[in-house]
Amino acid sequence: MFNKCEYVISAVSKKQNPNTANFPEFVFLGRSNVGKSSFINFLVNRKLLARTSTKPGKTIAVNFYNIDDIMFFVDVPGYGYAARSEDQKNKFGEYIEQYLVNNSNIAIAFLLIDTKVGPTKDDIIMINYLQYLGLNIKVIATKCDKVGTTHLFKHKVNIINKLSISESSLFLTSSLKNIGRENIINLIEEIVF
Ligand SMILES: Nc1nc2c(ncn2[C@@H]2O[C@H](COP(=O)(O)OP(=O)(O)OP(=O)(O)O)[C@@H](O)[C@H]2O)c(=O)[nH]1
Ligand SMILES: [Mg+2]
């Protein structure tokens, strides 16, 4: 896996969706700065595939990555970034919605939550929306390196309770410290192979 990882397009409307072959799509959603782009790089083991930034608001369109000519990873702009104008927020919301609605290629919608910050109001709105769309949702807790091991359990329980999810749909990860990659790869492999 991950012999070929290629940026395809930054789509700003559904017409630009490159997936004409109906390959499974794995989409990464979450608050701005939660670590979506970093997580994609971590998964495919390439530092520079998806562009990341210390400042929120780096990803500004729906970015498609062709993985091994058998699937797509999809990186979307983060929500909850206050410094964006209302107009921009609405536009991003529209693209994301257009992408998610009636898209039967989406195999897993990964919702990324900052381990330490926990789910925000926006995250709860997002998970409800993903459930309403009937998507297969898995929750990735990011940056777990920021929480000491003694507090990890507490943060995990907080995420499970606030999002009303089962323990088996939550995955603790750190792109920085190389934690939790294998579990996500297994989920993807189960679908693709
Ligand atoms: N400590 C720590 N920092 C991380 C980790 N993953 C990402 N970061 C940092 O978090 C910041 C944001 O990362 P991005 O991957 O750009 O976040 P994003 O969710 O793609 O952000 P937008 O594109 O704005 O929606 C960067 O400074 C990363 O270095 C992690 O596992 N641990
Ligand atoms: Mg990003």
C-alpha span between 108 and 137 (Å, rounded)? 6
Name the residue type at position 105: N
pLDDT (0 to 100) of residue 69: 97
Cα of 26 from ligand 2 centre, angstroms: 15
pLDDT (0 to 100) of residue 107: 98
**CATH number, domain at 27?**
3.40.50.300
What stretches of 17-154 adopt beta strand conformation (E)?
A: 25-30, 62-67, 71-75, 106-114, 137-142
> Measuring CA to CA, which residue among 138, 60, 66, 131 is closest to residue 96?
60
pLDDT (0 to 100) of residue 162: 98
Q: What is the pTM of this model?
A: 0.96
- Write the CB contacts of 149 (distance below 8 Å, at least 6 apart in sequence): none
Reported as half-sphere exposure (CB side, CA atoms, 13 A), residue 95 has a value of 23
pLDDT (0 to 100) of residue 56: 83
pLDDT digits (tens, 9 = 90+) for 93-135: 888 888 999 999 999 999 999 999 999 999 999 999 999 999 9
Cα of 100 from ligand 2 centre, angstroms: 17
- Mean pLDDT, 10 residues at a time, over the chain (193 residues)? 94 89 97 96 94 85 95 92 78 85 96 98 95 97 97 98 98 98 98 95
178 lines ligand 1 (CB under 6 A): no
> What is the dihedral sign for C-alpha 70, 38, 123, 12?
negative
C-alpha span between 91 and 184 (Å, rounded)? 30
> Measuring CA to CA, which residue among 56, 47, 117, 143 is closest to residue 92?
56
Reported as half-sphere exposure (CB side, CA atoms, 13 A), residue 176 has a value of 10
pLDDT (0 to 100) of residue 13: 84
Residue from 29, 39, 52 to probe ligand 1 pocket by mutation (most atoms less than 8 Å from CB): 52
pLDDT (0 to 100) of residue 33: 94
Neighbours of 140 (CB within 10 A): 25
> Measuring CA to CA, which residue among 166, 130, 153, 164 is closest to residue 30?
130
C-alpha span between 53 and 39 (Å, rounded)? 12
Cα of 21 from ligand 1 centre, angstroms: 31
Name the residue type at position 27: V
Cα of 37 from ligand 1 centre, angstroms: 7
Range of 52's domain? 5-192
155 lines ligand 1 (CB under 6 A): no
Structural domain count of the chain: 1
